[in-house]
Structure 1
Amino acid sequence: MKDQERKGVSVFKAFTTLDIVLMAMLAAANAVMTVFLSQLNQVLNGIGGPIATSTITGLYMIYGLLAYYIIRKPGTAVITFGIGAVVQAFMGSAYGIASCFVAAACYIVVAEAVFALVRYRKWSLPVMLLAGGAMVPIWFFFAALMFGYIKWGTDILLIALVVRILSGVVLCGLLTKLLGDALARSGLLRRFAVVKREAQG
């Protein structure tokens, strides 16, 4: 019983300074990347409208999921996406300041729920793919209300949603797993849970 209690407590370890620094760095990098993604989004919109722009959805979310995969502590999404929203708001967003915080809130709720369901112990590819895809629908619903996606029509909305979920699965879930494992093998993450837990088996 005591061993189980200790395991439960260990899951909720306090964040280290390195954890906070990593989350802040990823959030800052995302803010910079978002500037370029906004420009790419405009190009894609001119080429294929809302369906084409939906293909890069996963890239907007990857920084938070990558932080979670590396740090593996409850609340990682809250801090990382929260910092990301603040930085994007200060830098300015083509989609408006409100969208930064609403999107972050949606991502936080889903990411925290997914990893809570697996009790912060499973970090396999299927789990990461699930997290990447699951973060899409709630934000899509709010974005549809905020940006008037309803005018697209039901067929386009459904196709766009499916494309965005697939983008979340591939460009967020899969890419997170690949990047996280590559960074772990490089030796750069020796002091983070992604390396320590793999070493422990």
Structure 2
Amino acid sequence: MIEHTQNQSNITIRSGRRLRWTTADIAVAAALGIAAGVVFWGFNFAYSSISPILGGLLPGFASILHAVWYFSGTLAVLILRKPGSAVFVNLVGCAAEMLIGSSFSFGFVFLSAALQGLFAELPFALTRYRVFNLPISILSGVSTAVEYGVYLMLFRYQGVAFVSPRGIVHMVSEIIGGALIAGVCSWYLYLAIAKTGVLDRFASGRAVRTAATAGTER
């Protein structure tokens, strides 16, 4: 009985250490957030030019690109594997974007970033931050897409009904974009970054290195 209790205690301690933030985690998260903020800022200009074209083809279709604004949440959890990493990176990205200059209000961007981070983490949290693969990454992107799609319908597209053609196209496009951009693209971007060796100090980097080594030994 005593031995069983000690084993349980050791498991709890190891789990706590695994999920505890370190100085290196904070530094990488901050750098990732700043980089994401620059991407958000640049995409604001691209989206303002592209969205009218996509909207002209099919009202609501431009939502397929929205995931460029929230891919960072999924990518953050894949790299850092710590609770709160998506929220932290998204908020740093939001701050960086606003400092550079944004046409959107601070309140809108801040609230969007926080909510997107929470929903990006949800699938990983359900696995207790133990499962990191392409399906979970896609679920993270889809989860964020559903949240952001509904958020826009409630607070930005108030004149559009959920069951209207535009509302349906918007939500479907949002989910497809979330799955492909925030889910699939974030996963392969994480793999590409890890293969450079810059993440070797982190569990996420070692996992990719181990998988690559195992593949070459077969």
Aligned to 1:34: 40
Aligned to 1:101: 110
**Deviation at residue 75 of structure 1 after TM alignment:** 1.5
**Deviation at residue 123 of structure 1 after TM alignment:** 0.4
* 3-state SS of paired residue (2:60): helix
Q: What is the alpha-carbon distance in structure 2 between the residues aligned to residue 70 and residue 93 of structure 1?
A: 27
Residue of 1, 8, 25 corresponding to 2:15: 8
Which structure 2 segments of 5+ residues have no match?
1-7, 212-218
Q: What is the alpha-carbon distance in structure 2 between the residues aligned to residue 171 and residue 148 of structure 1?
A: 23
Matches within 5 A, 1:45-194: 45-49=51-55, 50-151=59-160, 154-194=164-204
Which structure 1 segments of 5+ residues have no match?
none
**Deviation at residue 115 of structure 1 after TM alignment:** 1.3
**Deviation at residue 164 of structure 1 after TM alignment:** 1.0
**Deviation at residue 152 of structure 1 after TM alignment:** 7.1
| Maintained 8 Å contact 1:54/1:167 | yes
Residue of 25, 43, 49 corresponding to 1:43: 49
Q: What is the alpha-carbon distance in structure 2 between the residues aligned to residue 148 and residue 156 of structure 1?
A: 10
* 3-state SS of paired residue (1:179): helix
**Which is higher, the Rg of structure 1 or of structure 2?**
2
| Maintained 8 Å contact 2:41/2:97 | no
Q: What is the alpha-carbon distance in structure 1 between the residues aligned to residue 41 and residue 117 of structure 2?
A: 21
**Deviation at residue 199 of structure 1 after TM alignment:** 5.5
* 3-state SS of paired residue (1:87): helix
**Deviation at residue 10 of structure 1 after TM alignment:** 2.6
TM-score after normalising by structure 2: 0.82
TM-score after normalising by structure 1: 0.88
**Deviation at residue 127 of structure 1 after TM alignment:** 0.2
Q: What is the alpha-carbon distance in structure 1 between the residues aligned to residue 210 and residue 196 of structure 2?
A: 18
Q: What is the alpha-carbon distance in structure 2 between the residues aligned to residue 112 and residue 148 of structure 1?
A: 26
Tell me which moved more, 139-148 or 99-108.
139-148
**Deviation at residue 86 of structure 1 after TM alignment:** 2.0
**Deviation at residue 180 of structure 1 after TM alignment:** 0.8
Tell me which moved more, 157-166 or 41-50.
41-50
Q: What is the alpha-carbon distance in structure 2 between the residues aligned to residue 43 and residue 52 of structure 1?
A: 14
Q: What is the alpha-carbon distance in structure 2 between the residues aligned to residue 111 and residue 47 of structure 1?
A: 29
| Maintained 8 Å contact 2:30/2:92 | yes
Cα-to-partner distance string for 1:7-28 (whole Å, 9 max, x where unaligned)? 3213322232x32222222222
Q: What is the alpha-carbon distance in structure 2 between the residues aligned to residue 111 and residue 33 of structure 1?
A: 18
Matched residue type, 1:11 = R
**Deviation at residue 146 of structure 1 after TM alignment:** 2.9
**Deviation at residue 94 of structure 1 after TM alignment:** 2.0
CA RMSD, aligned part only?
2.1
| Number of residues of Structure 1 aligned to a counterpart in Structure 2 | 200
Matched residue type, 1:44 = I
Tell me which moved more, 23-32 or 6-15.
6-15
